[in-house]
Chains A and B, each alone.
Chain A
Amino acid sequence: MTRVTLRNLRKSYGDTVALDGLSLDVPHRSFVVLLGPTGAGKTTTLKCIAGLIQPDEGDILFDGVRVNEVPPWERDVAMFFQTYALYPHMSVYDNIAYPLRERKLSMAEIERTVKEVARLLRIERLLDRKDPTTLSGGEMQRVALARTLVRRPKVFLLDEPITNLDAKLREEMRIEFKRLHKELNQTLIYTTPDFLEALSIGEKIAIVKDGKVIQYDTPENVFRHPVNKYVAMFVGNPTINLIEGELKRFDKELQFFGKGIRLNITELAGEWLNRLRGDEVILGIRPQDIRITLEKEPDAIPAKVIVAEPVGYETVVTTSAGEIEIKVLTKGFINLKSGQQIWLKFDKQRIHVIDPKTEEVLL
């Protein structure tokens, strides 16, 4: 039930900068995912919110009140650790009951709450286990999660809760987290290095890189309107196609030339042209925004098939167009032979233009 605001957090360890002016505003009851590669500062951010790490600079506010000086045991947050951090000398039941015992709840109430959360996570049968270090990875994760969810704190912090699980369990847990958030109805901050996970569960995504939030937006906007080249490349699989080249103007026409590819983009001309210095640009197009045709069509780019890999209900086609490789993602199976001549039709509304100097996405 808390709004968490981080203002300009900085933290360094010797020469290593962990947080470099990180700011984030997490509204009350929202589900925010911090997305970024390992070492981006996600865990440090969560530990700052929990009070386990003191930032060198910056403010941490809960509902507008600065809590930097409040020790972790009084901050009333619950955190799931990536390492699970189970108490190895306590039984599964005692692990889950620990946060309640520390708050001096009655025995009956503790038992009721522990059983309830165990039922929610389907680990009732594990409660009697004496040594949590003998559990499987998935079981440990659930026990650690149960310990996190057993209270109703101001904020839930979940540090890569499902990264270490196998693919199938991960998918199940993604759905479960969405359901959990609805049930808990509380502020929840979650980290992951996996963009698919982030897109599928977050209400809002904060992309963290080098200790900074570089984009904070809805999943759709992060995917459709990345702010810079890094976000465009980090989100999406296969990776966005990037074509270096330059813009040329003929009368009223706007043309793109680069790496042997020529494309008329007159219809995309707009205000962004004023922000571009010089003529050099990078054209970005996602593999799913390209259509393959077997016949020549106006404005289609000729290409040759290198390889077609069917992945379930989709096919990833790697083609060579001009001097570069372009990946295309198509629905269903299509039968293409290597070396086959095809044409690529770009969905022009989905084309991004990136300034190669600032790496900023202009369009």
Chain B
Amino acid sequence: MRRRNRRSSPIKRALLYIAVIIICMVYVFPVYWMITTSLKTRAQAFSFPPLWIWEPTLRNFLDIFMKRQTEIEALTGWELELATGAEQFFYNSFIVTLGSIALAIVIGTLAAYSFSRYRPKGTDTLMFFILSTRMLPAIVVAIPIFFFYRKLGLYNTHIGLILLYTMFNLPFAIWMMKSFFDEIHPDVEQAAMVDGSKPFRIFYKVALPQVYVGLAAALGFLIINVWNEFLFALLLTERATRTVPVAIASTRGEVGINWGLIAAIETLYIIPAMVLIFLLQKYLLRGMTFGTVRGV
């Protein structure tokens, strides 16, 4: 859109665009490099000066799903950290993300609604307590949790990671959803009560639909949190339950690091997050501004 009264000369505009393009390139370049590397053979990936034009190969993408025993493994019997058979890691990531998000959203939304509407005794203290669980840096609790998990048999299980991520994400879900519930006028729910609805029905037929935007925003943030989590996934999983971020970090090649393979996993790995952000972008923005004013 053109604004008449804001006078900017064409040169100024051009400079502005150039600056924006440069900044974007700086940010996007690693992603570009990653994607192109995933489409190169090992030799092409290492060629210097870098190849700008080459015949792309899907070899790397095929390789990551092909589970094979390497020659070294066959000879020595050691299990090498190879990113092959990656469908297992993607499956792990999906299961852990879905499970913990479903739990955090359901529990968090119900808790937030209760705090917002019924204000149980000590609500403010409880809300602060819930928030305070996020104040410790994760690394502080890493070692105790590692030992707990070993003792409890939760180490190297999907359910272990799901419970842990649920716990980490609940405070965020509760705080965010509460702020959305606080904004909607309680008269609307009272009207439903007079109209003959019981409390739980009011929650899902009247209150919840009014905070769908907030729900989408919370969902987006939580999914990204869990999908990208690295530290605890590294500590608490072994090969069977390993999530994608850990798998990427622990990938080796037979001879040196196989960058093409890693880039291919990474490329696949960012696709769900990109799709999600694209779908939820307007909600994520509203979620960040929290105080959304709604007309009722």
Contacts and interface: CB of A to CB of B under 8 A. Distances in A.
14 contacts: A50-B193, A51-B194, A72-B190, A72-B193, A73-B194, A73-B195, A85-B190, A85-B296, A86-B191, A88-B295, A88-B296, A89-B212, A102-B197, A147-B191
B188 interface: yes
A88 B294 CA distance: 10
A353 B104 CA distance: 70
B3 interface: no
Given A73-B196, A83-B296, A89 B209 contact: yes
Instruction: Select the residue from A51, A78, A83 with max chain B CB neighbours within 10 A.
Output: A83
A81 B191 contact: yes
Contacts of B195: 73, 78, 98-99, 102, 147
A89 B210 contact: yes
A84 B296 CA distance: 8
A255 interface: no
B294 to A, nearest CB: 7
B192 A81 contact: no
A73 B193 contact: yes
A86 B192 CA distance: 9
Contacts of A47: 190
A78 B188 contact: no
A87 B206 CA distance: 7
Contact of A99 (B187, B190, B196): B196
B197 to A, nearest CB: 5
A228 B209 CA distance: 50
Interface residues of B, number: 19
Contacts of A73: 193-198
A133 B190 contact: no
A83 B185 CA distance: 9
Max count, chain A CB within 10 A of own CB: residue among B187, B206, B212: B187
A47 B193 CA distance: 11
B194 A79 contact: yes
A73 B190 CA distance: 10
Contacts, number: 68
B204 to A, nearest CB: 12
A88 B194 contact: no
A103 interface: yes
A249 B12 CA distance: 94
A52 interface: yes
A142 to B, nearest CB: 15
Contacts of B209: 89
B194 A78 contact: yes
Nearest to A52: B190
Interface string A60-98: 000000000001110101110101111111000000001
Interface of A: 47, 50-52, 71-73, 75, 77-79, 81, 83-89, 98-99, 102-103, 133, 147
Given A50-B190, A73-B193, A87-B206, 9 more contacts: A72-B190, A72-B193, A73-B195, A73-B197, A81-B191, A85-B185, A88-B294, A89-B210, A98-B192
Contacts of B194: 50-52, 72-73, 75, 77-79
Contacts of B188: 85-88
B61 to A, nearest CB: 43
A89 B188 CA distance: 11
Which of A73, A78, A147 has the most CB atoms of chain B within a 10 A radius of its CB? Answer: A73
Interface string B217-228: 000000000000
A81 B190 contact: yes
Contacts of A88: 188, 210, 294-296
B180 to A, nearest CB: 13
A103 B196 CA distance: 7
A255 B9 CA distance: 88
Interface string B199-223: 0000000100110100000000000
B186 to A, nearest CB: 9
Q: Which of B195, B196, B294, B296 has the most CB of A within 10 A?
A: B195
B187 A81 contact: yes
Nearest to B189: A85
Contacts of B185: 83, 85
Contacts of A79: 190-191, 194
A89 B205 CA distance: 10
Nearest to A43: B187
A85 B187 contact: yes
Contacts of B295: 88, 133
Interface in B172-193: 185, 187-188, 190-193
A75 B193 CA distance: 10
Contacts of A85: 185, 187-188, 190-191, 296
A87 B208 CA distance: 11
Contacts of A51: 193-194
Contacts of A81: 187, 190-191
Contacts of A86: 188, 191, 296
A152 to B, nearest CB: 13
Contact of B192 (A71, A83, A87, A103): A87
A155 B210 CA distance: 29
Contacts of B294: 88, 133
Nearest to B187: A85
B187 to A, nearest CB: 4
A182 B108 CA distance: 49
Given A83-B185, A133-B295, A102 B191 contact: no
Contacts of B296: 83-86, 88, 133
A13 to B, nearest CB: 12
A83 B187 contact: yes
A130 B294 CA distance: 16
A252 B296 CA distance: 67
A51 B197 CA distance: 13
B295 to A, nearest CB: 5
